[in-house]
Amino acid sequence: MELEVLTEREKSILEIVVQQFVLTGSPIGSRTLSKKHTQKLSPASIRNVMADLEDKGYLDHPHTSAGRVPTTKGYRLYVDNLIQLTQLSEEEKKNIQENIGLFNGDVDFILEKTSHVLAKISRQLGVILTPKFDDGILEKIDIIQVASEKILVVLSIKNGIARTILLEVQHDLNTNDIIKLVSLLNEKLAGLSIKTIKQTFRDRFQEYMNQEEIGLVRVFIDSADKIFDFKRYADLKLTGASNIITSPEFRNVEKFSALIELFEEKNIIIHMLDKFAEKPGLKVTIGEELEEVLVQECSVVSAPYKIGTVDGILGVIGPMRMAYRKVIPVVDFTARLITKMFEEKY
């Protein structure tokens, strides 16, 4: 989206319109602006500037209202050039940390809590796309005998997470067999992605199928889909739907219905966040910039986080009239916090 060069007066008027509209949700008139503008411009002068901004596409004039509201283009200029981000206080940072809690090994639980924290603090919709562990690199496999016919398989993802699976075996176990199997598995699989292992496991171990001394390999071949199933970590956590359903922007029946459809079709949000993850860094995507029609009344503030070698993305979805000054630093801090928590654990 190309943006014209605005005068300083136009920029200051646009900034105040956005800030006031975020606060009130009502179209902003010239009299309101004349009271807020530091140069104490007359309502007539402000009306002229607002008319120019409307002609350039930064403001809109809804219905017969005397006031104006920002457009997607207006919000974009504000976020890129005019915004003064709120600095999170130490107390706010501590509050986020305490709400998420210390990492206890359960990635799913921590990410669920994170979506709740984002929703609570932003008062919007908190979303988090869990990492695709299929892309994670296997560091090592351990096997622990827990009963005469049961083993615990421990998969360690490089700089990431450990996954444990309990398997039953149909024959007697001995320590020697387990040691040989662990050595063989790590020789063949360590350093490969989970996706590659799932696709090629049987081929890699076909030659060992009939060797009695390492017959446990057959257990792994038969159970490979279960052992290397990380699909439960490729999901969407979504919290705070009530925060935006009650926004004035969605009182219109058509817009409200679109929002409900969005919540029901989570794949739309997953696809959207997945595309954001293709490029690094925090992003603010506004209104018509979003490809999906169902979300074009909204804005999305998103940021990547890492669990070891795999990436996820989290963020906030809300009406375009969201408090960007506060939401952007909250999303940024939370993403950095999650990344740091997993770095310290591993």
Q: How many domains does the chain have?
A: 3
Cα of first residue to Cα of last residue in the chain, in angstroms, is: 42
- Residue 156 covered by a domain: yes
- C-beta pairs of 175-181 under 8 Å, 24+ apart in sequence: 175/145, 177/213, 177/214, 177/215, 177/216, 178/143, 178/145, 178/151, 178/216, 180/213, 180/214, 181/143, 181/214, 181/216, 181/217, 181/220
Q: Is 325 found in the same domain as 253?
A: yes
CATH number at residue 123: 3.30.450.40
pTM: 0.76
What is the predicted pLDDT for the residue at 214?
55
- Across the chain, mean pLDDT equals 84
What is the predicted pLDDT for the residue at 115?
92
Residue span of the structural domain in which 18 resides: 8-82
Model confidence at 194: pLDDT above 90: no
- Residue 2 covered by a domain: no
Residue with token string 């360690």: 156
Q: Is 186 found in the same domain as 145?
A: yes
Reported as a single tens digit per residue, the pLDDT across 209-218 is 666 555 677 7
Residue with token string 């915004």: 83
Reported as a single tens digit per residue, the pLDDT across 258-278 is 888 888 888 888 888 888 887
Reported as a single tens digit per residue, the pLDDT across 19-52 is 999 988 888 888 888 877 666 778 888 889 999 9
Q: In sequence order, which residues have a C-beta less than 8 Å from that of residue 272 and are 6 or more positions away?
A: 290, 291, 292, 295, 300
CATH number at residue 23: 1.10.10.10
For the stretch 205-225, what's the b/e string if a residue is b when 16 or more beta carbons lie within 10 angstroms of its beta carbon? Answer: beebeeeeebbbbbbbbebbe
Q: Is 254 found in the same domain as 268?
A: yes
Model confidence at 246: pLDDT above 60: yes
What is the predicted pLDDT for the residue at 326?
94
Q: Is 216 found in the same domain as 335?
A: no
Distance CA 68, CA 58 (A): 10
CATH number at residue 199: 3.30.390.60
- Residue 1 covered by a domain: no
Of 166, 199, 231, the residue at which a domain comes to its end is 231
The proportion of the chain whose per-residue pLDDT surpasses 90, expressed as a percent, equals 33
Type of residue found at 318: G
What is the predicted pLDDT for the residue at 33?
83
